[in-house]
Amino acid sequence: MADVDRVSYRVGETVILDDVTVSFAPNRFNVILGPNGAGKSTLLKIATGLLEPTSGTVCYGDRRVGDYSAPALARKRAVLSQRVELAFPLDVEDVVLMGRYPHYGRTPSRRDREIVSRSLELVGMTAKRGQQYPTLSGGEQQKVQLARVLAQIWNYDEPREPKYLFLDEPTTSLDVHYQLHLLDVARGLLDYDCTVIAILHDITMALQYGDVFFLMENGRVAHEAHDAAGIPVELVERVFQVRASRVTDPADGQGLWRFSL
Partner 1 sequence: MLRRLSYGQSYILLGIILAAALVASAGIGAFTFSPERMFRYLGEGLGWIPSVAADDLGRNVFLKLRLPRVLVAGLTGAVLGVSGTLMQGLFRNPIVEPGLVGTSAGAAFGAAIIFVFGESTALSFATPLGSLAVPVAAFVVSFAATMIVYRLSTSFGKVNVFTLLLAGIAINAVCAAGTGFLSYVARDPQARNITFWNLGTFTTADWRGVELIGLFFLICFVWSLRYGKSLNALMLGESEAASLGVNPERLILQLIIVNTIMVAVATAMVGVIAFVGLVIPHVMRMLKSADYNFLLPASALFGAITMEVIDIAARVIIPPAELPIGIITAVIGAPVFLWILLRQTRSGSVGFYG
Closest distance of CB 25 from partner 1, Å: 22
112 close to 103: Cβ distance less than 8 angstroms = yes
Quick one: 98 or 190, whose CB is closer to partner 1? 98
Quick one: 133 or 178, whose CB is closer to partner 1? 133
Instruction: Say how far apart CA 20 and CA 95 lie, in whole Å.
Output: 35
Strands 163-168 and 77-80: parallel
Buried b (16+ CB within 10 A) or exposed e, 205-241: bbbebbbbbbbbbebbbbbebeebeebeeeebeebbe
- Give 33's strand partners: 215
Quick one: 112 or 211, whose CB is closer to partner 1? 112
Instruction: Read off the amino acid at residue 161.
Output: E
Alpha helices (H) in 49-175, listed in sequence order: 70-76, 92-97, 110-123, 138-153
Closest distance of CB 242 from partner 1, Å: 31
Closest distance of CB 257 from partner 1, Å: 32
Quick one: 82 or 117, whose CB is closer to partner 1? 82
Closest distance of CB 39 from partner 1, Å: 18
Interacting residues toward partner 1 by CB under 8 A: 48, 50, 70-71, 73-74, 77-79, 81, 84-91, 94-95, 98-99, 101-102, 132-135, 152
On the 0-12 / 13-18 / 19+ scale of CB atoms within 10 A, 156 is: exposed
Closest distance of CB 179 from partner 1, Å: 21
- The end-to-end CA distance of the chain, in Å, is 38
Closest distance of CB 94 from partner 1, Å: 5
Which residues, 6 or more positions from 84, have their beta carbon under 8 angstroms from its beta carbon? 141, 145
Quick one: 87 or 251, whose CB is closer to partner 1? 87
Closest distance of CB 47 from partner 1, Å: 12
Alpha-carbon 53 to chain mean position: 19
6 close to 19: Cβ distance less than 8 angstroms = yes
239 close to 226: Cβ distance less than 8 angstroms = no
Quick one: 11 or 261, whose CB is closer to partner 1? 11
Quick one: 38 or 74, whose CB is closer to partner 1? 74
